[in-house]
Amino acid sequence: MKRIAELTGLATSLSTVYQRFINASDLLPMKRSATDQEPWIAFLRSEVKQLFMAENGKPEPGWYVGGLRGVAYLQHRQQGQSAQVVKLPYPWNSSRRADIFERVKKIRTEMLNGLSLQAAAQAADSRSSHHAEDWPAAVTSFASFKRNHGRVSVSERTWQAKYEPHLERLTALMTSSKRPVDARVLLEKLCNQWEPGSRSRQICCQNVAAFLRHAVDRCGFRKAWLPPASLADVVGQRRTAKRVGYPLTDAEALRLVEGLPDKRWQFAVQLCVVYGLRPEDLRHLILRSGELWSTYRKAGGGGVTEPRQLHPLMVMENNSQIDWHLRERFGAGEKLPSLGPPGKAGDALGTYLKRQIIWKQLRQEIAERGEELTCYSMRHRFVRSGQLRSIPPKVLAAACGHSLESHLRSYSAWRDAEVVASHFDHALQSIAGVDKTAIVI
């Protein structure tokens, strides 16, 4: 016990001279290699050297603390024997110097009680705060928070689809013998199964990071489990650019509507084409003061969307608007098709369309042009029509029921191409002596 008390006092005194030591590298008796030039590494090794002093006042030979692949480890090599190595549960960086030393000190204390290096490391691990962090209990707490108290509470379906699978993998990893040492390493291990920059990788990263913040803030976990302030490095970037959705032309929209045999689905497609609806909007339509509204509230990273009044952009044929009288038909009680369970309207619409001859024909024609026809091509037609009518992006975003940021991220490529084309058309017409036309800006 006397020896343990001496070690504790030594650790305290060493920490008080840390800053002085950084600026006085000549105090080091050892020769530093190129990788040991950082002052914190030299100081840590000096601490460890002092910790492993024999009773004759000389340091015990063969002890070494270092980093391998970003993780700290402690090594002991006795003369004529193979080296023994134990991994420490901390990353090898300056911010964890004190934690690394404290863990080595605990291991040394256990060894003074007669344990081997491996047994001492296990005993120190079992006594550390590391095991006070109850990962399954933290997941249970987070699930309750997200269902009932979060800024953006999630449905049971969303929890099961977008949170539960990732947190089950996290729990299995954190209760294994190969658990990560901090939040960044944990996020990378969980997200690496998806392509960098992909939506699946982004969702995993964002939702696990939200859990980790909850674990630190509400469950008392160490700050080592706080995720990075920016997740961009973990999410990464796509190797190929994300495809911009294909907007149906008005002629294609007319062909699609006329080729559908079921009047209920025909009505649904007309609504999507003219009002730019998401499929899920179809089950949330109401009349309010004679106007058509969608009360659908879509949860996302920026919050929950508000109910919105719907504004039509009619399909054009031969420079004339085609009025399908959609608001009047809805008000008269015309039926829409069954859209499946909540949140699955897109699946229901997609299943129906993929079985229709006209859809197959359009998909083939569009694929030959290097584009892809999807259920959202009707909504994209609405946006594209709005751009051609010079409706400002902020107004179009409100009509679509999403943020301006989301709108620009999805549709700015079309607008940029349109501006470029307009300027070149104007230049060519000027050269040819043609009257100037308005430039889209």
Mean pLDDT per 10-residue run, the chain (441 residues)? 55 48 36 60 87 77 87 86 87 86 86 84 68 82 84 80 94 84 89 89 94 90 88 83 78 96 97 95 94 86 79 93 95 95 91 96 93 92 90 90 80 60 58 49 41
Is 24 in the same domain as 152? no
Is 151 in the same domain as 205? yes
3-state secondary structure at position 52: coil
Is 30 in the same domain as 105? yes
pLDDT for res 408: 78
Q: Confirm whether 240 is domain-assigned.
A: no
Is 392 in the same domain as 370? yes
Task: Count the neighbouring beta carbons within 10 Å of the beta carbon of residue 11.
Answer: 17
Task: Give the number of C-alpha atoms closer than 13 A to the C-alpha of residue 199, restricted to the C-beta side.
Answer: 5
pLDDT for res 417: 55
Strand 71-76 vs strand 84-91: parallel, antiparallel, or unpaired?
Answer: antiparallel
The dihedrals phi and psi of 58, each to the nearest 5 degrees, come to -105, 145
Boundary residue ending a domain (87, 113, 132): 132
Task: Give the number of C-alpha atoms closer than 13 A to the C-alpha of residue 100, restricted to the C-beta side.
Answer: 29
pLDDT for res 439: 42
Domain that holds residue 401: 250-407
Q: Which of 382, 389, 381, 376 lies closest to 418, judged by CA?
A: 389
Q: Which residue has the tokens 């491996």?
A: 118
Q: Confirm whether 92 is domain-assigned.
A: yes
Q: Which residue has the tokens 């859990």?
A: 211
Q: Confirm whether 186 is domain-assigned.
A: yes
pLDDT for res 28: 36
The dihedrals phi and psi of 376, each to the nearest 5 degrees, come to -85, 0
What is the longest distance spanned by two Cα atoms in the chain? 101
pLDDT for res 29: 36
Tokens representing residue 355 in the block: 């079985």
pLDDT for res 27: 33
Is 23 in the same domain as 103? yes
Q: Confirm whether 43 is domain-assigned.
A: yes
Boundary residue ending a domain (91, 113, 132): 132
Q: Confirm whether 435 is domain-assigned.
A: no
Number of domains in the chain: 3
Contact 164, 205 (CB under 8 A): no
Is 139 in the same domain as 126? no
* Run of H or E including 164: helix 164-174
Strand 315-317 vs strand 308-309: parallel, antiparallel, or unpaired?
Answer: unpaired
Is 272 in the same domain as 388? yes
Contact 69, 93 (CB under 8 A): no
Is 8 in the same domain as 99? yes
Boundary residue ending a domain (235, 270, 296): 235
DSSP-assigned beta bridge partners for residue 300: 303
3-state secondary structure at position 83: coil
Q: Confirm whether 424 is domain-assigned.
A: no
3-state secondary structure at position 2: helix
* CA dist., res. 305 & res. 97, Å (int): 46
Q: Confirm whether 304 is domain-assigned.
A: yes
Angle (CA) 290 295 296, round 5°: 145
Burial 416-426 (b: 16+ CB within 10 A, else e): eebeeeeeeeb
Is 257 in the same domain as 397? yes
In this prediction the pTM is 0.52
Question: What are the start-end ranges of the H helices in 27-70?
Answer: 39-51
Is 164 in the same domain as 153? yes
pLDDT for res 33: 43
Is 341 in the same domain as 301? yes
Q: Confirm whether 386 is domain-assigned.
A: yes
Q: How many residues does the chain have?
A: 441
pLDDT for res 10: 55
Is 256 in the same domain as 401? yes
Contact 375, 312 (CB under 8 A): no
Q: Which amino acid is at 419?
A: V
The CA radius of gyration of the chain, in Å to the nearest whole number, is 32
Q: What is the CATH number of the domain that holds 337?
A: 1.10.443
The dihedrals phi and psi of 361, each to the nearest 5 degrees, come to -65, -50
